[in-house]
Amino acid sequence: MHENLLDLTHIGFLHGKSFGSAAYASAPFETLIDESTITVKRTVSPTELPQMYARPLNMVDVPASRAVTSTFFAPGLSVSGVCLSNLTMPEEQRIGHLAETAHLLTPIDAGSLHYHFVIGRDFAIGDAETSAFMQSSLRNVFLEDQSALEAITEVRNDDPTGQVDRSVASDKAGIAMRRLMHRLALAQTPPFHTNRS
């Protein structure tokens, strides 16, 4: 799931009807890796915003800038953020509207997990209709992810020895996250001691 959240390239394909676009899929991205976090950044400008953002911001069919950041913080937490601007406004009057989603993950076993998310935003504050609309929209995006992740898991389970990972540039963040998770797991594993009397 963390790998999915860090792979911004899939948004234009898997979420093409709900969240992505061809412009988003082809936009350049930057990967930042340090000792404890992994971040992927991508800016699409100009672009049309998905309805999830366009409707609450009254920016339907309006040229916009969409700057997206996805950060892995810990095995239980990734945060996705987006800054949205109306490009028809004079540059000095543009406001960057912010929305962030905290993705909270708790494994159940090797093939399943509990997934919770919390959305924060600095627009349409206190508007219950916008809150319900954005929550429903994000849930639909997650259901698309769930379908893909279940299909990938099924393929891997059907032939666990016949799978070969092939990495491309957009996998850099996911690979770094796997290595960081491995280091964290090793750091929490107590050394094996034999009790000799």
- Kindly state whether residue 96 falls inside one of the protein's structural domains: yes
Q: What does the alpha-carbon distance between residue 120 and residue 115 come to, in Å, rounded to a whole number? A: 17
pLDDT reported for residue 191: 62
How much is the average pLDDT of 85-108? 94
Helix (H, G, I), strand (E, B) or coil at 62: coil
Q: Give the confidence band of 170 by pLDDT, cuts at 50, 70, 90.
A: confident
| 133: containing domain | 2-140+168-185
- Kindly state whether residue 40 falls inside one of the protein's structural domains: yes
pLDDT reported for residue 15: 82
- Kindly state whether residue 153 falls inside one of the protein's structural domains: no
- Kindly state whether residue 157 falls inside one of the protein's structural domains: no
pTM score of the predicted model: 0.85
Q: What does the alpha-carbon distance between residue 31 and residue 23 come to, in Å, rounded to a whole number? A: 19
Helix (H, G, I), strand (E, B) or coil at 177: helix
- Kindly state whether residue 69 falls inside one of the protein's structural domains: yes
Quickly list H helices, 40-191: 51-54, 128-158, 172-188
pLDDT reported for residue 157: 80
pLDDT reported for residue 95: 92
Cβ–Cβ < 8 Å for 104, 118:
yes
Q: Give the confidence band of 146 by pLDDT, cuts at 50, 70, 90.
A: confident
Could you tell me which residue, 143 or 189, shows the higher pLDDT?
Answer: 143
Choice among 15-29, 103-117, 143-157 with the minimum mean pLDDT: 15-29
* Domain count of the fold of the chain: 1
Q: Which residues contact 133 (CB under 8 A, 6 or more apart)?
A: 52, 55, 56
- Kindly state whether residue 193 falls inside one of the protein's structural domains: no
Which CATH number covers residue 111?
3.90.380.10
Q: Which of 187, 181, 159 has its CA nearest to residue 6? A: 181
